[in-house]
Structure 1
């Protein structure tokens, strides 16, 4: 990428941000980061443990710091956590420091992709994960749409196809 701009992937859990981000970074020869993985690396604990110990507010503070630091880099692909866009500061930084790609998926796909994943604190212990995902979608979709430069549907497409579609839409 000639001008080494950043590409930030946003969207709900189960949209494929991490998988597509790795593929995209590989295709464009850019460095890949995952904000959740970076928080886990820095704390030495998984996200669900951070949530349990510090609550969602404590986790969101950590997330804000990590996203601020990572977005100061150039030439990266960053997969953000599904709730990262709750923070106005995160939305502003993502918008100002790179191209924001919203990976959109249906609730059905989210349920299918996350049903066995116990590492997602907001739905891991939920009695009705679909209900939680629907509520999160209602709250977060307008925020994803607000800062998205590009929106791509990820249902029924491989990570490679979605990455190629992003590259094409970016004119790279």
Structure 2
């Protein structure tokens, strides 16, 4: 398959998977990107909640992060079925070796990245819905997560910086990286 930067619209043959820290806008940007590319959109967190009949916060509390990540891996494997679509993943999904290998082998991974202070402001509005932020300072936790996760996210072939601009600016940057 040609590099992502050389793809043309009629050559989108694989799913596009958005990765990155919580609050970077994977779901919002993903919906808009899918609309612009005329592809379907799937949020893996939503699919996990549907499959389990629980919220992600409830799964973390009831089963712990390790078991949640195993279920997340299975759901993402099901979503990456070879058909072109846009998939938004949870922030920790790409950290799982098996999930990461699957995404890199069978999809086009796009790392959405933003400054920690921008992410902290965004997630601070819904910190209660994010299990990893329960009872901690969002800025400190996101900085710690970025330190560990960003080198792994950097394995994605496409890296897009999300700035405090309208989400369509990020969509435009992705389309440009995809050669649109």
TM over 0.5: yes
Q: Does 1:124 align with 2:104?
A: no
Residue 10 (structure 1) aligns with: 19
Q: Structure 1 residue runs of 4+, over 4 Å off?
A: none
Contact 2:34 2:40 in 1 (8 A): yes
Name the CA distance, whole Å, in 1 between partners of 2:138 and 2:14: 36
Structure 2: unaligned runs, 5 residues or longer: 1-8
One of 144, 157, 162 as aligned partner of 1:149: 157
Name the CA distance, whole Å, in 1 between partners of 2:91 and 2:65: 13
Cα distance, 1:31 vs. partner? 0.8
Report the count of equivalent residues.
170
When normalised by structure 2's length, the TM-score is: 0.90
Structure 1: unaligned runs, 5 residues or longer: none
RMSD: 1.1
When normalised by structure 1's length, the TM-score is: 0.94
One of 108, 117, 121 as aligned partner of 2:117: 108
Name the CA distance, whole Å, in 1 between partners of 2:58 and 2:141: 20
Q: Show the 5 A alignment for 1:1-150.
A: 1-3=9-11, 4-117=13-126, 118-126=128-136, 128-146=137-155, 148-150=156-158
